[in-house]
Amino acid sequence: MRHGAGWIEKSLLLAAIGESRDRGEEALEAFAYRYPKGESVEERFLVHRTVFPRDFLEEFGFATVRS
């Protein structure tokens, strides 16, 4: 992964969470993918750009509603 890319991903997600709270939203929805154990960071973030890894979202308090 490029230097700082993980920090950028987290910063963008935190900004979205903050903006949702500022607007009074009760929930924020995201779509996640469960990667195989041992999957590389490059595979997670560079190959599947439109879907967050499930464990990444869990770090921010997201919970699975439907799988």
Pairing status of strand 32-33 against strand 52-53: parallel
Least confident range from 13-17, 46-50, 60-64: namely 46-50
H or E stretch at 53: strand 52-53
Token reading at 45: 């973030």
Contacts of 41 (CB under 8 A, 6+ apart): 1, 6
CA angle centred on 54, ends 21 and 56, rounded to 5°:
65
- For residue range 16-39, what is the model confidence (pLDDT) as tens digits? 899 999 999 988 888 887 778 887
* DSSP bridge pairs for 33: 53
- For residue range 40-57, what is the model confidence (pLDDT) as tens digits? 877 777 776 666 778 888
